[in-house]
Amino acid sequence: MLNQIATQVVSDQPDLIIPIATLAAQYAVLAAENTNIPIVYAAISDPEGAGLTGLANVTGVSDALNTPFILDMMFAANPDIQTVGLLYSNSEINSETPIAQAKAYLEERGIAYELRDIKEENPLAEELRLWWKTSGLPLKKFFNTSGLLYKSMNLKERLPGMTEEEQLRLLASDGMLVKRPIIVTDDGKVLTGFKEADWTNLLK
């Protein structure tokens, strides 16, 4: 579908293409390969890994995680952590760099870790319900609203008409709908997504 959309957009000969997220940007670049249409991408966690750097007509902004900073804050809050869970998706190229950084960080310090591919082992409804109730956040905060699946399912329009239980079941049906990263602290605090100020306040 994205390939068809990108091809149609290029055939319309726009002055500029602005794809959001990695796959959309990759398809846009492929479709515009033999043109001079400028492409300005957004929300790309690993532009180099996605093959979006070094191209004359392609530029944009990254939302890459500062993985060592996140882990530094986590251990500052609790130096006695023995095992760390790493929640990721192996179907997304933008997961590769932060997961590799996290593994290297933890291995260097002799800290055990457990990997969980959310596409293969998505969070259960019971887990999501506990995290949501504990967090005090609106349930929508647990949805990956910038993800392609969220957009393709038109969830921006559908969620307001769904009950909370229906939303939890939907979240549990596919890990790609779940906002990442998620942090759950021993004292019952929960954050979704990464905003440096929020994490600093939580973990200081």
Please tell me the predicted confidence (pLDDT) of residue 158: 95
β-bridge pairing 112-117 and 182-184: unpaired
Please tell me the predicted confidence (pLDDT) of residue 198: 67
Please tell me the predicted confidence (pLDDT) of residue 196: 64
Please tell me the predicted confidence (pLDDT) of residue 114: 83
pLDDT tens by residue, the chain, 204 residues: 778 889 999 999 999 999 988 888 999 999 999 999 999 999 888 888 888 999 999 999 987 778 888 888 888 878 888 888 787 777 766 677 788 888 898 899 888 888 888 778 888 999 999 989 988 889 998 998 878 788 889 999 999 999 999 999 999 999 889 887 777 665 666 777 766 676 666 555
Domains of the chain (ranges; CATH) run: 2-62 (3.40.50.2300), 67-203 (3.40.30.10)
Residue 203's contacts (CB-CB under 8 Å, 6 or more residues apart) are 73, 74, 76, 77, 185
**pTM for the full predicted model:** 0.59
